[in-house]
Structure 1
Amino acid sequence: MDRRRTRCPQPPRRRTNRASARSRARRHPPEPRSMARLPEQLGSVRLVRQIGSGRNCQVWEGRDGVEERAVAVKVVAPQRADDPRERALLQHECRVGRTLDHEAVIRIDRFAVDEGLPHVVMEYYPHPNLKKLLTAGREGLEWVAQPIALQVALALDHVHARGWVHRDVKPDNVLAAPDGRAKLIDLAIAARARGFLGRLFGGAPPKGTPSYMSPEQIRGRPLDARSDIYSLGCVLFELIAGRPPFTASTTNDLLNRHVAAAIPAVEASNRHATSAASDLIRRMLAKRPEDRPRTMQAVAAELRGIRLFDHVPHREMPSLSR
């Protein structure tokens, strides 16, 4: 008798739910969190369209409440929503903004967390930033460069009067209307004068944007209003020349140029620049803070009394409060 065991035929094995789920996951992988979309509503604000973005945040136009008031919403990007540092920066921006009240500074309404997303609700100003206008070309900007620069100076004078240093003055952080009306934005890294934000930044190196950082900011030294004066000098140079005063192929070289390189003559990049504008920029870009104008109020006073371009007639400058 053949005692060899025979294997009974088995019915086809059915896939388990787990196997099916794995198969579906391979065919339809989950959307990466970095690509996750925001909800249509954050608290009382209905999000309408995205109007800006950065590495860690997005900016949206929204409609707030039953009255559908137009607002801007700066919200931490979904992939960074759990980062306590990003939340702290937005909370700080709100705290700083609530101490300010000036028509050339964007008005901050509130900080909130909805759907797990920290965000700040603020005034909506439907105009592009100055960097976008410069990138598109300087045509037409020459006629409004002076009122834009003056309003930013007056806005910063108000910021300084309330005890803050902005620390990130650059064209990206100035919204400009076609008629030259401007708004200063982005107070996320503003610091108390003399540079104390140790609790927030945990002893990290000073923040800023390399193309516009003052030498003392680069060196990590205490800051006061004169650091913002240097940064505004860089912006004023770019408004006239179409580029920042210093450029380099690497960040280290760029920072070293701010610290040690001779100040370029703005008239070499634009023959219509006036000698008065060149002199003001040269003093604003002095390497030593004590060689710059002492206050932003002094800068504003000079901007009222000079022309930036020899072919642009002097115009009535806006009279904004401090």
Structure 2
Amino acid sequence: MKYGRYKVVNELGRGTMGVVYKAHDPQIDRMVALKVLRPDRVVSQDFVLRFLREAKAIGRISHPNIVTVYDVGQDHGTIYIAMEYLEGRPLNEVIKDRTVPVDETVGMCVQVAEALEYAHRQGIIHRDIKPSNIILTPDNRIKLTDFGIARIEDPDAAQQTQAGDILGTPVYMAPEQVMGQKADGRTDLYALGVIAYEMVVGKRPFGGGNIAAIFRSITHEPPENPMTMGSLDNRELADLILKSLSKDPANRFQTGEAMATALKRCLDTSAHPFPELAMPRQRTSLFAKMRLAVAIFCLCLVAGIVGYTMIRRPAVESNHGDSAAVPVPSSILNVTSTPGGAQVFVDSIFKGTTPVDVPLVPGLYEVRLNLPDYYEWEAQLEIGQDQPAPLNVRLVSIN
């Protein structure tokens, strides 16, 4: 398959807005990452505009820590963006199931903060900073990707995003995003603070069994001090993270430059005579090895329990005349909207109109609401086990 002059090699991944392919550009004989708008999004003018806005946003900027955009075009009734093809791993894979040493955490976060400082100076707010949108290359360079919901602060352009249009990934959203208020550069820096917390503690600062609990935690509950949550023994970094997670944007870092400067001061100057030049590196301390041994023991213990449960399960199920292994929905997503009557889609499958109860197996879902004359609403939601997940969406009129 080809889009324009680009020949698709293989699929790299799928997201809320589109599919990303590895493709070959024969004109200059190089590989590119080709992001193609999902066909089901083409029917929505709002999503088409948002996709084109991504191309405009990242096409305007040039920074060593931000993915480079080469081209944008239309083919097969859809739109595509040709971007720099990156070798590396997303940060969510790099930090999965481990805590990250202070020097690695600081080195990565400094690069993100400096990239955000540059983007913000160009009037671009990312609004969806999360580990899966940060790539770590083999030479330990951070690349910030996916400006799919970037907000262009262009006084000459019509304002496309309205108050109340909640976008992004809930666990990394700032309080102002959760409440449908205006997002600015401090919103991105808040998300970076969430990521830094997750890296050094091994868990996110806010959570809950359903979307309502997550939003309540973000807007009302203070985060636990990273110093009391694990092995972190760097007071400067702990204080920096807590400042980043302030509910009030005025109490956070006001610029990426200020956050990057503060991050550099967190490094141990005895180990790094020039903290501003320090880069992420692999480090395995005795304490880290002990943590790894404990983690392996716990994993083996859990595996044994799960194995024992799975061995017994067929016998139990046979006694009830049901041995099917098909997951059974054990939670309800209760969707309401203001105004009512909005179409509800879960992972692009129509589920009815609001108000509606949607039985779901616990997991991560894309939820989308459509109503004529109102802006489309969308978010990724994680549905918990054995409890209802209420979701009330206030739709915003286009007129």
Q: TM-score, normalised by structure 2?
A: 0.64
1:130 CA displacement: 0.7
Task: Please tell me whether residue 258 in structure 1 is matched to residue 218 in structure 2.
Answer: yes
Query: In structure 2, do the counterparts of structure 1 residues 139 and 223 end up closer, same or farther at CA, with 3 Å as the change threshold?
Result: closer
CA distance in 1, matches of 2:197, 2:154: 26
Aligned twin of 1:103: 64
Q: Secondary structure at the match of 2:11?
A: strand
Instruction: Identify which range, 222-231 or 284-293, moves more after superposition.
Output: 222-231
Q: Percent identity of the aligned residues?
A: 27
Q: 2:116 aligns with which of 156, 159, 162?
A: 156
Q: Is the 8 A contact 1:193 1:224 kept in 2?
A: no
Q: Is the 8 A contact 1:191 1:197 kept in 2?
A: no
Q: TM-score, normalised by structure 1?
A: 0.78
Tell me how large the CA RMSD over aligned residues is.
2.7
Q: Secondary structure at the match of 1:290?
A: helix
Q: Secondary structure at the match of 1:95?
A: helix
Q: Secondary structure at the match of 1:200?
A: coil
Aligned twin of 1:270: 230
Aligned twin of 2:134: 174
Measured against aligned partners, the alpha-carbon deviations of 1:178-207 in whole angstroms (never above 9, x if no partner) come to 442101111121114599997434665231
Task: Please tell me whether residue 77 in structure 1 is matched to residue 77 in structure 2.
Answer: no
* Equivalent AA in structure 2 for residue 107 of structure 1: T
CA distance in 2, matches of 1:124, 1:278: 35
Aligned twin of 1:184: 144
Structure 1 unaligned spans of 5+: 1-39
Task: Please tell me whether residue 51 in structure 1 is matched to residue 12 in structure 2.
Answer: yes
Q: 1:145 aligns with which of 100, 105, 113?
A: 105
Query: In structure 2, do the counterparts of structure 1 residues 194 and 256 end up closer, same or farther at CA, with 3 Å as the change threshold?
Result: farther
Q: Is the 8 A contact 1:167 1:228 kept in 2?
A: yes
Aligned twin of 1:66: 27
* Equivalent AA in structure 2 for residue 277 of structure 1: L
* Equivalent AA in structure 1 for residue 226 of structure 2: V
Q: Is the 8 A contact 1:195 1:222 kept in 2?
A: no
Q: 1:212 aligns with which of 168, 172, 176?
A: 172
Q: Is the 8 A contact 1:145 1:180 kept in 2?
A: no
Measured against aligned partners, the alpha-carbon deviations of 1:54-84 in whole angstroms (never above 9, x if no partner) come to 2431111111123321111111224444443
The structure number with the bigger radius of gyration is 1
Instruction: Identify which range, 207-216 or 218-227, moves more after superposition.
Output: 218-227
Query: In structure 2, do the counterparts of structure 1 residues 290 and 193 end up closer, same or farther at CA, with 3 Å as the change threshold?
Result: farther
CA distance in 2, matches of 1:194, 1:112: 22
Instruction: Identify which range, 196-205 or 118-127, moves more after superposition.
Output: 196-205
Measured against aligned partners, the alpha-carbon deviations of 1:152-190 in whole angstroms (never above 9, x if no partner) come to 000000011111221111111101124421011111211
Query: In structure 2, do the counterparts of structure 1 residues 187 and 256 end up closer, same or farther at CA, with 3 Å as the change threshold?
Result: same
Aligned length: 277
Task: Please tell me whether residue 280 in structure 1 is matched to residue 280 in structure 2.
Answer: no
Aligned twin of 1:241: 201
Q: Is the 8 A contact 2:245 2:252 kept in 1?
A: yes
Structure 2 unaligned spans of 5+: 280-399
